Amino acid sequence: MIASLADLLSAHSRPTTAPLAPERAARLLALLPDWALEDGQLVRRYPFKNYYRTMAFVNAVAYLSHNEDHHPEMTVNYNHCVLRYTTHSAHGLSDNDFICAAKADALYQQAGA
């Protein structure tokens, strides 16, 4: 069971077809204070100093997404990127969304953006 940020970071995405109960989604969201729920999706905007840093992050998230087999919707601009996670097979949010969101945050912190 995922109960901490460390649990999210050490977990891996798994196939799922059932959406999270709203109470569980709220508990997991509390572990990711920079994220928000918008229209049933887990969303965060990442600011950057320039296009190069934005694209480096986007490429790192693409690599992460490939490894986790869970892909966000990405909106890329010159100095920011927006990630939106949802699990299509579950028709809502799953643990996978929160796992990948936590790992994207770790990438962002490592980049020192």
Is residue 106 situated within a structural domain?
yes
| Full-model pTM | 0.95
Q: In this predicted structure, what is the pLDDT of residue 111? A: 81
Q: 10 in a domain, yes or no?
A: no
**Residue 97 included in any domain:** yes
In a domain, 11, yes or no: no
Report the domain count for the chain.
Answer: 1
- Tokens 């809502």 belong to 92
Which CATH number fits the domain that encloses residue 63? Answer: 3.30.1360.20
Q: Is residue 3 one of the residues assigned to a domain?
A: no
Range of the domain at 101: 20-111
Cβ-based neighbours of 58, under 8 Å, separated by 6 or more: 74, 76, 81
Establish if 8 belongs to a structural domain. Answer: no
SS3 of residue 36 by DSSP: strand
Written as tens digits, the pLDDT of the chain (113 aa) is 899 999 999 999 999 999 999 999 999 999 999 999 999 999 999 999 999 999 999 999 999 999 999 999 999 999 999 999 999 999 999 999 999 999 999 999 998 76
User: Sign of the CA dihedral 88, 94, 95, 100?
Assistant: positive
In a domain, 6, yes or no: no
Is the residue at 80 inside a domain? yes
